[in-house]
Amino acid sequence: MNNCEHFTLLRENIRQKALACGRDPDDVELIAVSKKQSLDKITSIHACGQKIFGENYLQEAQEKMQHCPHDLCWHFIGHLQSNKVAAAVEHFDVIQTVDRIKIARKIQLHASKMNKTQHILVQVNVGREKQKSGVLPEDAEELLTMIAQEPNIRVLGLMTMPPWSSDPEEARPYFRHLRELGEMLSGKGLFASRDRVELSMGMSGDYLVAIEEGATMVRIGTALFGTRQE
């Protein structure tokens, strides 16, 4: 199966699952996770119609962006270090992994200098895993309240990575928790829009469960590109 066939099958799986849940398939965006993937694979998937790509590593992403079509939309989905914020703001349309006010304020500083409005998601550590980044669920409201004071930042919604499991059903309660948290915080007016709160959750192994629980963005690499180059 070639890249376009993988893409077509994946899009159809997303469409069918959304319809089965009574959702509009257009409400679920596919983020093609292209870390460690070749330029040939990225341009091939783009030629099939994919426009949104997610990258974890800034230097790798910057090198790819120089050679990729200019109409791509780039999401940063890796851990963001303070000294990399300026580059992230410069190159990425959406930063999905903001989890502390220090990073948000640096984003504000650089976005202001660039005369840019930076779209972000707040990463929530729903599984309370010490080795993972993300604000704890009970601290998300306070963080969002502080970020609301930064004029060059628009918070689109929330992002999470549940504890790993080979069984997709194990992720369901974590996805549900993020959706319920998003609904509560939206009711307090803490996102850029009340009409659409982005929920970035679900990867190659559990994206169908994530869609059932309300995901608006699914981040898929292996199921789309195949095994990564290491």
- The residue-averaged pLDDT of 126-130 equals 95
Residue-wise pLDDT for 167-204, tens only, equals: 999 999 999 999 999 999 999 999 999 899 999 999 99
pLDDT at 161: 97
% of the chain exceeding 70 in pLDDT: 98
% of the chain exceeding 90 in pLDDT: 93
DSSP readout, 118-162? EEEEEEB-TT--TTS--B-GGGHHHHHHHHTT-TTEEEEEEE--P
Question: pTM of the full predicted structure?
Answer: 0.96
pLDDT at 136: 98
Domains of the chain: 3-225 (3.20.20.10)
User: Is there a contact between 34 and 54 (Cβ–Cβ < 8 Å)?
Assistant: yes
Report the SS3 class of residue 229. Answer: coil
Residue-wise pLDDT for 107-116, tens only, equals: 999 999 999 9
Strands (E) located in the chain: 29-33, 52-55, 73-76, 94-98, 118-123, 153-159, 198-200, 217-220
pLDDT at 6: 85
175 vs 164: CA distance, rounded Å: 13
pLDDT at 228: 62
**Whole-number mean pLDDT of the chain?**
95
pLDDT at 2: 76
> Residue 152 corresponds to which tokens in the numbers above?
């060059």
- The residue-averaged pLDDT of 120-132 equals 96
pLDDT at 3: 76
Q: How far, rounded to the nearest angstrom, does the alpha carbon of residue 12 sit from its chain's CA centroid?
A: 20
